[in-house]
Every structure is written in C-alpha cells, then in structure tokens.
A and B are shown apart, each in its own frame.
Chain A
Amino acid sequence: MATYKTQIRSGVYYDSAKLMMLQRSLAELPGVLDTGVVMGTDSNKELLAHIGLDTPEVKAAKPDELAIVIKAENEKAADDALAQVDSLLAARKSQGGDEYRPRSIESAVEAAPDAGWVIVSVAGRYATAVTRECLRLGKHVHLFSDNVSIENEIELKKEARELGLLVMGPDCGTAIVDGIGMAFANKVRKGPIGIVAAAGTGLQQVSSRIHQLNSGITFGIGTGGRDLKESVGAITFLMGLDVLARDPDTKVIVLTSKPPAAKVAEEVLKKARKAGKPVVVNFIARPITTTRDGNLFFATGLDDAARLAVELANNPPTLTGDEDLPIKKFTKEQKYFRGLFSGGTLAYEAQHILAGYMPKVLANSPINKENQLPDAFVSQENCIVDLGEDEFTQGRLHPMMDNELRIRRLYEEARDPEVAVIMLDVVIGYGSHPNPASEIAPAIAKCIAEAKNAGRHLEVVCVATGTDEDPQNLNDQIAQLKAAGAIVDTSNEVVCRYVGRIMRALAERDVVEEKAVGKPVDLENLKKPLSCINVGLESFYTNIKDQGAPCIQVEWKPPAGGNEKLMNILQKMKAPVKK
C-alpha cells in the first residue's frame, strides 16, 4: 500500500518554476509514485485534492507555507525522497565556467569539481604553496614552474604520495593525458604505450617517434628532471610506473630519464621487473650490459626506446618469470654465490655481468679495487676467485692443467651452509688437462650429495669452453658434468645471468614486501576525460581549450598580495588535507 508523507515549510519562498522542477526531480526518485510541491493556497490545495494528495497537513497549510507531499511505495522511499529536498533545491548546473575566471584554485574547483589536474606555472617562489593547495583540494599537479627548491620538491612529492596524487615537476615541461598535451607537448595519437619520463624533451622525442611509427600512447607522465636524484628517490616516477603497470590499456611501458642516480635507477628497475608487462628502459648515460632481462628491454637511446616499444606493442613477447629457478629448494641460510675460475677473462666477465644482479661481488682480482677479496684463500659473501692468479700458481700447475686445488676449494665452498650457488669454468683444448670432467664431475656429485645429506640444495653451474673437435671432446665433458648434477652451458654470459637471476631471487626471497608507502594513484580517476585548471601562463589554458578539453583559467594573484606574514598565517589556517 502506498505511503503518504507531507512536509510543510513556512517562511520560505521559491519561484513556482523552481517548485515544478523540484516536483519533477522528486517524482523521478526510486519508489516515488507521485508528488506535489506547492504553496498552500486554496487553489493549489484543490489541485492536490484532485490527485489524492490532500493529506491532513496539506489541508491545514497556509498560503505562505510550502507543502511537499510524497506518495511512495513504502515509508523508506518517502523518507529518502524528503531527505533529498534540500539538495535538489540547491542543485544547479555548473555556472558559466568558461567566461568567469575564478580568483583562486579553490573557487575553480568549486566551479569545476570534476577537473582532475591543475597546471601550475606561477613564479617559483609561489609554486610550492600553490601546489600544496592543489593537493589539499585533491588534484594532480603538472608543475611547470621552475625555481622550486629540491627540499620543497621532496616535501610536495611526499605529501602527494600520501594522497595518491601525482606531482609532475617542478620544471616539468611535458605531459600527455587522455590524448591531450599539457604545457609543451605534441599531438600524439592514443595507443598502447605508456611513458614515464624524468626528461621533458625526452618525452616529446619518444612520444613523437612512437606516433611517427604509427603507434600511440596512453599516458605521458612527466616527473621533472630531478625525480631520479637520490634525495628525491623517484617518488613520482615510481607512482607513474605503478599506475601504468595497473592500467590494462597500457601494453608496454617506456621509462626514460636524464642521467639517474645509480641507486635510484636500480630501485626503479626492481619495481619495473614486477610490472607484469614489457618495460623499455632508457636511462641516459647508464651503461647497459644486456638488451633484455626478463620483462625489461634496454634501449640504447630515445629513438631506440620508441622503436622497441612499438615493436613490443605490435608483437607482444612471451614473458616468463623465475619459475625455472630452484629458489624454493634452498635453505633460509643459503644466500651466497662462489665462483671458482680457472680462466681470468671468464672471471672478469662474470664480475661485470653479476654486478648488475647483486649489490657487490668480491674478487681476488677485482675489476674495481673496492671489491677486493681480502684473502684469496678465504671466501666471503659473494665472491669470484680466479685460481689462475699468481698466489695460487706458485709451485704448482695452472688450474687448467691441475684440478686438485680447485676441487679442494670446491669442497670447502660446498660445505659452507651459507653458499647456494657455485660456478666453475671448465676450459678444454690443447694444453689443458686431458679430461678435466673426469676429476671435477665426481667432486661435484659428491658435493651435491653431501649438501643433500646436510639438508641443503647446492646449485653447481659450469661454463664449458671448447669444441667437439678438441682432444677432450666438449660434448663428452658436458655429459659428464651434467651427469654429476651440474647445470652446464657453453656461454659464459648465459651461465652468469642464470646465476644472477638466482642470486637476485634469493635476495628478494626473504625481503618482506615493504609496506607500500602512501596511497596508489586512482587509475579510474586518472582515466577520466581530461579536465583541468590552469594557474599561470595563459597560453597553456588556450592550448588545452584548442585541443577540445575543458579548462578553467584561474585569475591568480599572490595570496595576501604577497605579504609574507599574512600568507604564513593563512597557510596555517587552511583546512587539513583531504585524505
């Protein structure tokens, strides 16, 4: 049975057109069957009587009282409808956003609550406060202004991270969102590639090349050139990477940066490896030792990055994880790698490659002096021992001819409960031992068996150098080593990278996933059609409008006329940031 609810409001006046609108809006609410919204004049009451809405309250209403009657399916629907009267009366279309120029970001946000971005290009000394105000109002910021101190940059980015907002900048030239270029940007079609760039013209170059190669981009997220400095720690860069990794429309990610801090670059790559999609990396001036490492593809330059990204988008590669690695077999204590080499150059190359996988590799003959193994006869941490060095060959044959010393060392390493992986080189050919595997393989087998008895898994990997026409016969040597339980390959690099991946996985195995700092960027929100607010250079406003996106220009002046004392007070009085 239908429920009737009546509300009488006295001392209010609304234009009759407004009341008719309210009546229509109420009638559209769920569960509402009929409504009457009138002033309580006799003729109006008669009208309501005709449609059966003349409740006792209506009958008693005076001409200067507003009567709202709801006929609804049930009591709740009627109450819900009445509860909405005030907001419906207050509802209005957004007021002439184009013509009027609000005087503050806050008023701009009131005029355009859906705007997700603010482009800030005010003088540097005001940029921090303006950016903070944008963050307070829940907006992403494209901070074009320069002359913002790095301390302020760090504070702003940290605040933004807590709120799940991006601060692109300071001194961020370029960004592309929803196909719309902000500040300096090119008209790049939409497509499957997402870019994060701590490099303004870098972003322009890569995105333009992608366009020229007939592909396009989802987002071009700028971060400002200092983001990958150690003190900033790639805050925006990592947030950008994270959101692109989550974006299903972004099939390939391109990361590019002006020369980054080495440590920060490693941190970024660590996260990039977990993106679950191909990531093309081009960090200017960072040497590359490989073109591919899992899902990471290393480009030699900006153009190469664009080319690679388009290729990967067109022909998605098969991405495999670490499923092939025996990580779970190791005990908790096993965390080190030992390389026992007979060949000096192979040992050097191993150092060079493995440096990309672990923080430090010691060696008795290090590439870099700071990685000197203090005592060649005593291994520690991750280390590579070249047993062909002078300290080992005095009074005995070179290890390529005499395996005895290396086998003794192999047993030592194998018995170390902290050792997980041992790498050996077996170099055959004229001059070498007539059948090295005949001595090394049984030792390997014994080591593996002993470790197994002690409850450990020992991974022994060998690089075998030689040919099948050598007197020792490469295939025969490999067969013996494999039979003993070793992983064998003829490429030193392949073996080293295999070792590297194991060591990296071991290092990450025990790391409890650090609690995510801050709040992730809301992807849904970021993917809405671009609507923005511009504070500063008017040409940016015009550019956005020309590209067909809504934009509001703020008629901005320094707060409190630039009076420092008053500005300071005002800042302190601001409402806390909306989280």
Chain B
Amino acid sequence: MVDIEKANAYAVERFMEARPVVTTMAKALDVIPGMHENMFLHAGPPVTWERMSGPIKGAMIGACLFEGKAKTAEEAEKLLKSGKIEFSPCHDHMATGPMAGVIAPSQLVYVVENQTHNIKCFGNLNEGRGKVLRMGAYSDDVLAKLRWMESVLGPTVKAAIEAAGGIDLRAILSKALHMGDDGHNRLDAASILWTTQLAPFIAKTAKDTATAFDVIKFLGDNALSILNPVMAGCKTMTYAGHNVEGSTIVTTMARNGTDWGIRVSGLGDQWFTAPSPMVKSLYFPGFTEKDACPDIGDSVITETAGIGGFAMATAPALVTFIGGAPKDAIETTLDMYEITEAEHKQFTIPFLDFRGTPTGVDIRKVVEKQITPRVNTGVAHKDPGVGQVGAGVVSAPMKCFEDALIAFADKYGFN
C-alpha cells in the first residue's frame, strides 16, 4: 500500500526547496516545449472554441492580429473557428498566463528556472491594469502597447535581467509577504522590489536614457509587473512536487472562464474540472456582477504554491475584498491550514508569529472538511474586448476535488 503521508511530505518539501530565478527572456516559439507557429496557449484546462469564455476569445483575436495572422477581428474569428490554430493550455507547456493567459508563438516570455530542481517554466509580459489583452481586449491601443512591450520593454528588461545575473523570485516574495503583499492579487511591494533590482541594470544596459526612463517608469507604475514571472516561478515550485507516486497534493489549479481545473501530484496530467464559479468581487465604477466572466486565469498557481489567498493574513490591505476586517483575512489563512500539508519554510506571516504560509493543498483534507482553496483574483468582463471589471475572492468548486479523490482511490486501490 502506498504511503500517502510520506509521498505528500516529499512533494511539498520539493515545493519549498524550489528556488525560482528569472534568468532571461526569449521568444515563446524558441523556448516553450511543444509550441509551434499555429499554436496559441491559454489559461486553465483545455477548452474548445465553442465553450471558450469571452476574455480568451478576445485575447485569441488580439493574438491573431498581433501575430499578423489576420487583419480584422472578423478575419481572426474566422481563422480561429477554422481549426487551423491549435489551442492548448499553458500548463501543458510548462507555462502560465494570467486571466485569459494567451501566449502567441512570437511573444517574448520570461524564463524562470527552479535552480534547485532544474525545472524551467515560462510566463508572458504583464501589460498593467485596465484594458489589456489578458482581459480579452484587443483594440488598437491594446495592440500598440503590446508591440511596444515586444520591441522596447522586453529586450531592455531581458538585458537587465541577464546583466543582474538573474533575479531571485523566492527572496523577493519572502520579503514582499512581510510588506503587505499576498503574492497574487497584491504585488505592489514585490513589483517595487523587482523594479529596484532591475533599475540599476536597466540604466546601465538600455540603449538610451529615454528608453531606460520609459521602461523603469512602466515597471514602477505597474503594481503587477512581477505577477507573470511570479506565476511561472510558482509553477516551477509546484511542478517540482508533481508526479510523486501516491501523493494527494494538488500541483496545478487553473481556470479558463468556463471550467475550473486541478491536477494532483499522484494522478499525473489528468485534469479534474468543474464549472468555473463567479468571483465574489468588488467592481470598478460602471460594472456589476452581470458583466463579469466566471473565474479565469492561471494565476491561482500562486495559491497552489502556498501564497495568494492562502497568505491573506499577511496582506491586511486586501481585506476590503473579503468583508473588511483584518480578522477575516486571518481566518482565511487559518482555514487554509486546514487543507494543506505543511507550513512554508520560506514564506512566513509576521502577524501569525512568523508561521509559514499554508502550503500544499491535500485533496483528502479538502473533501473531508468541505473547505476548498480560497483564491484572490481579478475579474474580467465576460465579453471579448472589454477588459478588467473588478477584483475579489473565489472558492474553488468542490467537485474537482471529489472527482480527483475518487480517481485516486481507483488508481491506488482505496475503494
């Protein structure tokens, strides 16, 4: 009989030992395993065009325009419907993307290396808040910004990263959690740390001061500039604990605006999905829940790795999303201890006496206690082309975990 406890301890130990470092940037086509000219990656579990949520459809259209595969949205939609473009989950290619999570073959991606276990994962560039491709927007200004990012921001940041000898994400995150970040929805501190680490090298390597100014300003203004590398970094952590025989630890959680999906360490690459729930959200002016797309994005990889909603107790500034009192933030984290294997060795919470964040969701605990992971997240408009409408919290659907538990029992003979 398989020793689940041992397997879980091993898997989560690997989560915690992983040390992700951003080492460079490269064209998706060149580095992402399995990527090809006619493949677009997207967030969450696999999904067909017919079932695809608005934001992903919008981002796919934007990607067609960006790649020059179509001249108009109509043309793009026709192409996408034709079956000539292959859609594939980022997670099937060692990548992650926030919200729609669309990664096109010619886009630049961060290369994040887990130097402990020699695992590489990839994440695209963050466009900032508001009307952006990842929320399904594809208007001219969105595309213009993307082009600037590809031609100016990307190469400049890449040079700076390389000149700095890589940027250690784990160290930044440990520190940021002590500065009010949860590591998912609030990355203000981490993004500043990221910017301050890069800025001197940008100043040194940028082709001119005007470029340096634009790039540093863009990174510094964007409170989410580090989100995408952080997600890829979290993926390198959880992947280190994936495929451990007999482990009930969740190594992937992801949503595509239609389905919520998880993968379990001891169950290989099988997805367990359920309809994606609506986010309990605060909305930007002019929007309501009617405008919102169901929960979407790969960013829940942060919770999978033990931060984000799980580290809520260390990010009191976020409590407005969950009822307003710091006590609620603390209870969220305490609840997550109920369903996790370990307390993180690197990520700690000063308010809880430097207790480690709850790390490694155990499907057994989730099902037994009927508590699912809590996620801090942004909310996209349900229609393509509009963008972000709010932010809030959401709980994963129980069905994924129950189905996974039954599959685990089948595979390992616990019936």
Contacts and interface: CB of A to CB of B under 8 A. Distances in A.
Given A104-B338, A569-B406, A15 B248 contact: no
A95 B338 contact: no
Interface string B235-254: 00000000000001000000
Interface string A65-105: 00000000000000000000010011011010000101110
B27 interface: no
Contact of A13 (B174, B334, B364): B174
Nearest to B170: A11
Contacts of B343: 90
A557 interface: yes
Contact of A572 (B171, B356, B369, B409): B409
B322 interface: no
Q: Of residues A95, A103, A107, A573, which shows the largest number of chain B Cβ atoms within 10 Å of its Cβ?
A: A573
Interface stretch (B78-86, B303-311, B346-354): B346-354
Contacts of A89: 345
A560 B19 contact: no
Interface in B78-112: none
A122 B191 CA distance: 49
Nearest to B172: A13
A92 B355 contact: yes
B367 A560 contact: yes
B178 A15 contact: yes
Interface in B251-276: none
A575 B365 CA distance: 13
A569 B409 contact: yes
Interface string B154-186: 000000000000001011001100100000000
Contacts of A110: 337
B354 A92 contact: yes
A561 B370 CA distance: 6
A542 B293 CA distance: 46
B338 A570 contact: no
Contacts of A565: 406
B4 interface: yes
A566 interface: yes
A3 B300 CA distance: 48
A95 B353 contact: yes
Nearest to A107: B338
A424 B402 CA distance: 79
Nearest to B370: A561
Chain B interface size, as a band, is 35 or more
B313 to A, nearest CB: 10
B208 interface: no
B409 A13 contact: no
Given A11-B171, A104-B368, A560-B367, A569 B354 contact: no
A559 B368 contact: yes
Contacts of A566: 367, 402, 405-406
Nearest to B168: A11
Interface string A550-579: 000000010111010110011011010000
A512 interface: no
Nearest to A93: B353
Nearest to B352: A95
B298 to A, nearest CB: 24
Contact of B369 (A14, A95, A103, A563): A103
B415 A104 contact: no
B90 to A, nearest CB: 25
A89 B346 CA distance: 10
A567 B353 CA distance: 35
A13 B179 CA distance: 12
Contact of B248 (A557, A560, A573): A573
Contacts of B405: 566, 569-570
Given A86-B345, A569-B409, A560 B368 contact: yes
B364 A570 contact: yes
Contacts of A95: 334, 352-353, 355
B370 A560 contact: yes
Contacts of A104: 338, 365, 368-369
B221 interface: no
Contacts of A15: 178, 348, 350, 354
Q: Of residues B19, B350, B356, B402, which shows the largest number of chain A Cβ atoms within 10 Å of its Cβ?
A: B402
Nearest to A567: B368
B371 interface: yes
Q: Of residues B331, B350, B367, B402, which shows the largest number of chain A Cβ atoms within 10 Å of its Cβ?
A: B367
A107 B337 CA distance: 8
B328 interface: no
A338 B343 CA distance: 74
A573 B414 contact: yes
A51 interface: no
B289 interface: no
A569 B415 contact: yes
A17 to B, nearest CB: 9
Contacts of A103: 335, 338, 369, 371
Contacts of B415: 569, 572
B5 interface: yes
A333 interface: no
Q: Of residues B170, B171, B368, B370, which shows the largest number of chain A Cβ atoms within 10 Å of its Cβ?
A: B368
A569 B356 CA distance: 30
Contacts of B337: 107, 110
Nearest to B178: A15
A378 B328 CA distance: 87
Contacts of B19: 11
B402 A559 contact: no
B353 to A, nearest CB: 4
A11 B348 CA distance: 15
Q: Of residues B348, B350, B415, which shows the largest number of chain A Cβ atoms within 10 Å of its Cβ?
A: B348
Nearest to B410: A569
Contact of B354 (A18, A107, A572, A573): A18
Contact of B171 (A18, A64, A573): A64
A575 B369 CA distance: 17
Contacts of A64: 168, 171
Given A11-B170, A90-B345, A557 B334 contact: no
A93 B355 CA distance: 9
A319 interface: no
Contacts of B175: 13
Contacts of B355: 92, 95
B20 to A, nearest CB: 9
B170 to A, nearest CB: 5
A12 interface: yes
Interface in A97-132: 100, 102-104, 107, 110
Given A103-B338, A560-B367, 11 more contacts: A13-B171, A13-B346, A14-B174, A15-B178, A90-B343, A92-B352, A95-B334, A570-B368, A570-B405, A573-B409, A573-B414
15 contacts: A11-B21, A13-B346, A64-B171, A89-B345, A92-B355, A93-B353, A100-B331, A103-B335, A110-B337, A559-B369, A560-B367, A561-B370, A569-B405, A569-B406, A573-B4
The 10 closest A-B pairs by CB, nearest first: A13-B174, A92-B353, A569-B409, A572-B414, A559-B368, A103-B338, A575-B5, A103-B369, A13-B175, A11-B19
